A = this chain, B = another copy of it.
Amino acid sequence: MLEYLESLPLVDHHCHGVRDRDLGRAAFEESLTEAASAGPPGVSMFDTQVGFALRRWCPPVLGLEAHAEPDAYLARRAELGAAQVNARFLAAAGLDALYVDTGHTPEALLGPPELGRLAGADAREIVRLEAVAEEVAAGGATAAGFADEVRSRLGARTAAGGVVGAKSIAAYRAGLELSGPRPSDAEVTGAAGRLMLAAEQGGTGPRVCEEILHRFLVWCAVDAGLPVQFHVGYGDVDADLRRGDPLLLIELLRAMDPSPALLLHNYPFHRHAGYLAQVLPNVYVDAGLATHNLGHRAPALIAELLELAPFGKVLYSSDAFGLAELYHLGALLFRHGLAGFLAGGVEDGAWTAADAERVAGLIASGNARRVYGR
């Protein structure tokens, strides 16, 4: 079964750019997990599930033995240089397509074209909705003109080609408790005014954090015919995880139907997400980010996600960010975990080998192709 999965190219429907510069140990450890720093004195982020998974699976790609010590690994990484490292790991991921969220770039990252070239895969773009709104607000639009300008800019991005979906980061800001209905123009104008005023008073760029605006943006994406990804659950320390439970989103999910909603990450609420995927026809789920962070425990996560989620509603994503290793680890741990899950069922007689291969194909790429229409 693993061999079969290794033969299947994946659609990675949610990922990010990677750095094209070399990294010291502290910067590397910071990139390895979702913490904002490399840990207090005495605590190494290599001593984590993802750290051990990296030491097991990544050194061989760079020509070292598995389980290389962190310093030896980083020395070899520096020796090869970022370009070579990125090329090797992107190629190792075995991707057919990758959909890149281009809205979070705290520093220079490789963009979709370079990623696609390195991966030998079709690279497309996921528009981060809040980033569009913040550009509009920062670009001199009036509050009254905000809604139309957002719609127009989103339409232009979509029409220009390459954009296959949109993403909401409401979970990081207002939280996922979004209502269902399209907000009225007057509500959006009011909220846009507050957004601009806060930016002016704060002397910073505009920062979308009001429920009305997150909801408005989701509806803009729906109206533009784009599937909408939602950050759910696990993420970096900015997220207030309490507000990231996908059950909070149920009203908007219902209201959006039949437009597809894709719940990303989901851990530790992945069983909640699986429930939503079963009972709501337009809801899809993945376990990106968590899969590589859980390392040796990824199979448990995948099995729990597949309790209620229909197998035709589950997608693959890496949510790789910054380190090219995460493209490889995400894909590898996903293939191993799913292969173990499916092979275990075949062994116990729960399903046939033919059904297992069919399901593998759905989750590896078939479901993503159906949802994104590609």
Contact = CB atoms under 8 A, between A and B. Distances in A.
B294 A345 contact: no
Contacts of A279: 33-36, 236-237
- Count of identical protomers in the assembly: 3
A296 B348 contact: yes
A282 B52 contact: no
A49 B308 contact: yes
Given A34-B279, A247-B242, A350-B56, A359 B47 contact: yes
Contacts of A111: none
Given A35-B280, A312-B43, A268 B275 contact: yes
A250 B245 contact: no
A281 B240 contact: no
A22 to B, nearest CB: 24
Interface in A333-370: 344-345, 348-352, 355, 359, 362, 370
A307 interface: yes
Central interface residue in A43, A53, A355, by most chain B CB within 10 Å: A43
Contacts of A362: 47
Interface residues of A, number: 68
B37 A281 contact: yes
A45 interface: yes
A370 B42 contact: yes
A190 interface: no
A295 interface: yes
Contacts of A14: none
Interface in A110-158: none
Given A48-B278, A241-B247, A294-B308, 4 more contacts: A45-B310, A55-B351, A234-B308, A240-B247
